[in-house]
Amino acid sequence: MEPTQNPVPPPTPAAVPEPTPAAADAPAPAAPTGTQLGAAPVAQPQTATPTGRGAGRKILCIEDEHFIAELYSRSLTKAGYDVTVEMDGIQGLALAQTNQFDIILLDLMVPNKTGIEILRALRDKIETPELKAKIIITTNLEQREDVRADIEKQADGYLVKAELTPRELAAFVDSIA
């Protein structure tokens, strides 16, 4: 007699539903933001609000040396100032004459118009009738005493760049703002 075999059906895979075309194309759920119904509030990224003495005050920096302009811009922005940098004398004068700035940092040696020419134009009541900005001269040039005294009479401050750090510049600007 032949042994009888009990036919055992092959194992069937567990039932896994096939994705529907609509579910396959659906975007992944978004990460929670803000307060959602039934969810705890999720912190939102905060943008830094300027604080300190410089908060909201605008500075025009007319400086042709990229490295110095970047140092000044970073330090003053960190102190809360809104800084615009212009590297050309003619463009710098045009910006200064818009009367949008509270403080102007003016290098004496910039291309196309010197800082002294810009200073004279800004102090000329016909060329620049209603300038509200304070003007701080920044330079590394040695000046004769009489030339320096004349510049200082027209400016609200005179700084030798090699003698101060960006932090000291921010403190000086704070003191005259």
- For the stretch 9-42, pLDDT in tens is 554 444 444 544 444 444 444 444 433 334 344 3
**Does residue 82 form part of some domain?**
yes
**Does residue 34 form part of some domain?**
no
pLDDT of residue 44: 37
**Range 133-137 average pLDDT:** 96
More confident residue, 100 or 35: 100
**CATH assignment at residue 129:** 3.40.50.2300
**Does residue 75 form part of some domain?**
yes
Query: Residues 57-96: pLDDT tens digits?
Result: 999 999 999 999 999 999 999 999 999 999 999 999 999 9
Q: What confidence tier does 54 reach under pLDDT thresholds 50, 70, 90?
A: confident
* Separation in Å, CA 99 to CA 47, 58, 60: 28, 10, 10
Q: Phi and psi dihedrals of 87, rounded to 5?
A: -100, -5
**Does residue 14 form part of some domain?**
no
More confident residue, 140 or 98: 98
Compute the C-alpha angle 158/160/161, nearest 5°. Answer: 125
**Does residue 90 form part of some domain?**
yes
User: pTM of this prediction?
Assistant: 0.69
Percent of the chain with pLDDT over 90: 59
**Does residue 37 form part of some domain?**
no
**Does residue 3 form part of some domain?**
no
**How many independent structural domains does the chain possess?**
1
pLDDT of residue 176: 87
**Does residue 30 form part of some domain?**
no
Residue 51 has pLDDT above 80, yes or no: no
Range of the domain at 136: 58-176
pLDDT of residue 52: 59
Residue 154 has pLDDT above 60, yes or no: yes
Residue 104 has pLDDT above 80, yes or no: yes
